[in-house]
Structure 1
Amino acid sequence: MCGRFTITDPIEEIMERYYASIAEGYEYKPNYNAAPMQFIPTIIGSKDGNRLGSLRWGLVPNWAKDEKIGNKMINARAETLTEKPAFKRLISSKRCIIPCSGFYEWKKDGSVKQPMRILMKDDSIFSLAGLYDTWIDPEGNKLSTCTIITTEPNSLMADIHDRMPVILRPQDEADWLNKESDKESVLRLLSPHEADEMIAYKVDSAVGNVRNNNEELIREVS
């Protein structure tokens, strides 16, 4: 699964990276411990270009009776997207990108779980593939949410966890965001990222507490 990540780059760099404008009312701040049920930065494509805004992490399908279902929908397995009622209609036109500077996963070492941070070797921003939806409560209030798609691990991640988030190649990002892209072609993008472009290192166990959110969390520990 993918349950924590970081996005710490300046907003100007994120906007330039995705050729994006800012959605009305959006206020960005770096996040060293992004967690489910938080509002996270997201990129959505539109006829007017890419927009940077926020969606709450934990998908609430538009047909849901209760928004609490989002707690169970933080990830969507790439292998079963076209089968699950919550995801199969979204893959055709409600795709988004979650900008990321690194993600956390916990590696089992005997009875201990060691938190690891995984990122690109060049420390660049990368794109997690996501889906989004909008739910309306009985009072008519809208809640826009998202989920992060996961896939089988590459050789780097296999030693840490049995799943990893789908990381889109830069050359595939435009197709992923384009609502007119063929469903079968975008499904083919949901494969493990090249392991030789990534690195992983140990971080402090403080990252396990969602209340902790500071630069110390991404420092490598021995």
Structure 2
Amino acid sequence: MADLFRATPTRTFNVPEQVYPGYPGIVVRDHEGRRVLQSMTWGFPVRLKGMKPTSKPKPVNNARDDKLLTPFWKHWFVTPAHRCLIPFTAFAEAEGPKGKMTRTWISVEDQPVAAWAGLWRPSDEWGDCYTGVMVDATEDLFDIHDRMPVILHPDEHDAWLRAPAEEATALVRKYPASRLVVDRTTEPWFKRKPVEDPTLI
């Protein structure tokens, strides 16, 4: 992964096969002009109204494109050093009737390992953590989900990590459905997940 993204690992860490919100995943970020590969928790921790002070925060695992300039996200988006790349081979969406949903995997045809545009920040609760930017899905994928990750083309990686907010905003767009591969499975969406093998992306 480090070789693919021309990054240097910050330290040795284990890599889960599947990544779930609230669990560790891999990101690539810019640090003093060079790319580093780092393990972070997926999701910005947030405490909702009514939650007890001692309760575990909820992971906000994606950022809507139309909310990037709101107070919750703005600093992390407009500051290039807090944008990151989230490597993935496929992402999953739920399909089917409630209680019987199955996993539909979506991958990028011409990118065996692609990058989802992300943001990262330090947190008191989980240390460094990240989230992914989402846009409205293309019409071809609307029957699966109405939102989709912002998937970057390889030649856009540097701009996402280093460019001013105006240039980064232009990269926040839909990825062509013609270049995505949809794999519908019979795998249940809800299943027991072992703690040592954290989920998707």
After TM superposition, give the deviation of residue 110 of structure 1 in Å.
8.3
**Greater relative contact order (CA < 8 Å, ≥ 6 in sequence):** 2
Q: Which amino acid aligns with 1:82?
A: L
CA distance in 2 between partners of 1:91 and 1:187 (Å): 9
For normalisation by structure 2, the TM-score amounts to 0.83
- The answer to whether the aligner puts 1:23 opposite 2:10 as a matched pair is yes
Question: Aligned pair count?
Answer: 189
Q: Which amino acid aligns with 2:131?
A: T
For normalisation by structure 1, the TM-score amounts to 0.76
- The answer to whether the aligner puts 1:149 opposite 2:136 as a matched pair is no
The equivalent of 2:183 in structure 1 is 201
Structure 1 residues 47, 77: CA separation in 2 closer, same or farther (over 3 Å shift)?
Answer: same
CA distance in 2 between partners of 1:183 and 1:125 (Å): 25
Structure with greater proportional helix content:
1
CA distance in 1 between partners of 2:100 and 2:2 (Å): 39
Q: RMSD in angstroms over aligned alpha carbons?
A: 2.6
Residues 22 and 59 in structure 2, CA contact (< 8 A), matched pair in contact too: no
- The answer to whether the aligner puts 1:176 opposite 2:160 as a matched pair is yes
Give the alignment partner of residue 23 of structure 2, picking from 30, 38, 50: 38
The equivalent of 2:49 in structure 1 is none
Provide Cα deviations, 1:81-104, integer angstroms capped at 9, x if missing partner.
102x22111002210111000000
After TM superposition, give the deviation of residue 112 of structure 1 in Å.
4.3
Residues 134 and 143 in structure 1, CA contact (< 8 A), matched pair in contact too: yes
Residues 103 and 188 in structure 2, CA contact (< 8 A), matched pair in contact too: no
Residues 28 and 41 in structure 1, CA contact (< 8 A), matched pair in contact too: no
The equivalent of 1:167 in structure 2 is 151
List gaps (5 residues or longer) in structure 2.
47-52
List gaps (5 residues or longer) in structure 1.
1-13, 218-222
Structure 1 residues 208, 112: CA separation in 2 closer, same or farther (over 3 Å shift)?
Answer: closer
CA distance in 2 between partners of 1:109 and 1:207 (Å): 11
